[in-house]
A = this chain, B = another copy of it.
């Protein structure tokens, strides 16, 4: 997979700096999430998907969300969420409530026990993010990272901008 900027194809290649950045991003992110997952699991017997689910519910109005909205936020399929919520219900952290206005809808509701559990687990997660990520970065780097991510969010959030290049 050598580069040597041979013009054999129509695709612009990545230079060394970009390649290193891309590889580094994949590698670093994988390591980071593995660490966080492991710590959360060891300290509270909670997986990251479970944690993320409870976080979303905790932030929602009335600590409740329609199944489809929750699935959207978590980037999982409807069926995947059905099983995940099933499990959280078994553990007493989430309750399922039919919606009175739309009888197709099931609302997932974070129980008081679930909220309490989340409050116990959150410091572990936050502390992990701090130790593994932000403790190693300068204030300037955090700002730069934030700026980069905002740029990307703005670009990919509305991909309909610009119709020129094919």
Contact = CB atoms under 8 A, between A and B. Distances in A.
A153 B27 contact: yes
**Size range of the interface on A?**
35 or more
A50 to B, nearest CB: 15
Contacts of A116: none
B141 A11 contact: no
A58 B142 contact: no
A21 B136 CA distance: 14
Interface in A17-34: 17-18, 20-22, 24-25, 27-32, 34
Contacts of A55: 1
Contacts of A147: 141
